[in-house]
Amino acid sequence: MAEETPVKAVQVKLVLLGEAAVGKSSLVLRFCQGDFNENTSPTIGAAFLTQKCRLENRIVKFEIWDTAGQERFHSLAPMYYRNAQAAVVVYDITKAASLEKAKAWVKELQRQANANIVIALVGNKLDLVSESSTSPAPPASSEAPAEEEEEEGSSEEPSATPTPNETESDDARQVSTAEAEAYAKESGLLFFEASAKTGHNVGEIFTEIAKTIPFDTIVPKSTTNTSGNRRSGNNNNDNGSNNNVNLGEGQQAKKGGCC
């Protein structure tokens, strides 16, 4: 019986864009290392990590550029999204202005980036809102017997005033799922709401991107000069190890595990 040919990893350049403090670095940290840091420092310039995503018929090796969200670094963005096969544009579902900034990034990508780039719009910080503000309410039953309705009417009605925690959770959401999803559909984007803190939907974002990328448009990279072209400190290999290359000031390189 013939031996199976080993599947070679396909390298995919992916860039994260979005306003400062929407959780871009936390999403990448969760995807690459399965971890969450409550006190993540702002990214300076950009950070570089790698992680593999295994599909049924191929292995996708994401080369992830996590860019700084501060406006002073905006002019550097084209250097990172140039020739990228995928982009994750992140906004904070508790901050309406961050969605407007995300829309501006999408326009810039569609105008200047690779024509075949796959863009995913991701609403982060889902853990800050309640389930009721995320999921549609179940339909009310109209088949209750009249006798029961009369009994309910005669009993003392419970207070409908929400607790302070419920009110705070419901009021935290400023961007509705329907609004963001409609925009994503209209613009031809993948759409997810996720939580870097709990890990909800984080893996699904990158898996769906890997499934959607038109691999016939990717030009294979030469393997002869791979090691020579790597930056110092980025000893990238095919065993699934992930390294974070610090391109800014005062940040330390981080290592992650394989998937």
**Amino acid identity, residue 58?**
R
pLDDT at site 89? 98
147 within domain boundaries: no
The whole-model pTM stands at 0.73
- Over residues 69-89, the pLDDT tens digits come to 999 999 999 999 999 999 999
Mean pLDDT calculated for residue range 241-258: 42
* Total structural domains within the chain: 1
228 within domain boundaries: yes
Check pLDDT > 70 for residue 7.
yes
Helix and strand counts by DSSP (H, E) for the chain: 8, 9
37 within domain boundaries: yes
125 within domain boundaries: yes
pLDDT at site 239? 40
* Domain range enclosing 175: 9-131+163-256
124 within domain boundaries: yes
Strand stretches in the chain, DSSP E: 9-18, 46-54, 59-67, 86-92, 118-124, 190-193, 242-243, 245-246, 255-256
Q: Which helix (H) or strand (E) holds 16?
A: strand 9-18
CATH number of the domain residue 183 falls in: 3.40.50.300
pLDDT at site 230? 38
- Over residues 219-239, the pLDDT tens digits come to 666 544 433 343 433 444 444
pLDDT at site 202? 98
- Over residues 20-78, the pLDDT tens digits come to 999 999 999 999 999 999 988 999 999 999 999 999 989 999 999 999 999 999 999 99
Q: Which of 17-31, 52-66, 101-115, 140-154 has the lowest mean pLDDT?
A: 140-154
pLDDT at site 218? 81
Check pLDDT > 50 for residue 135.
no
Mean pLDDT calculated for residue range 131-150: 48
120 within domain boundaries: yes
Check pLDDT > 70 for residue 241.
no
Phi then psi for residue 100, to 5 deg, are -65, -40
pLDDT at site 161? 53
149 within domain boundaries: no
pLDDT at site 50? 98
Mean pLDDT calculated for residue range 87-115: 98
Helix (H, G, I), strand (E, B) or coil at 132: helix
- 111 in Cβ contact with 143 (< 8 Å): no
146 within domain boundaries: no
Check pLDDT > 50 for residue 178.
yes
Mean pLDDT calculated for residue range 200-217: 95
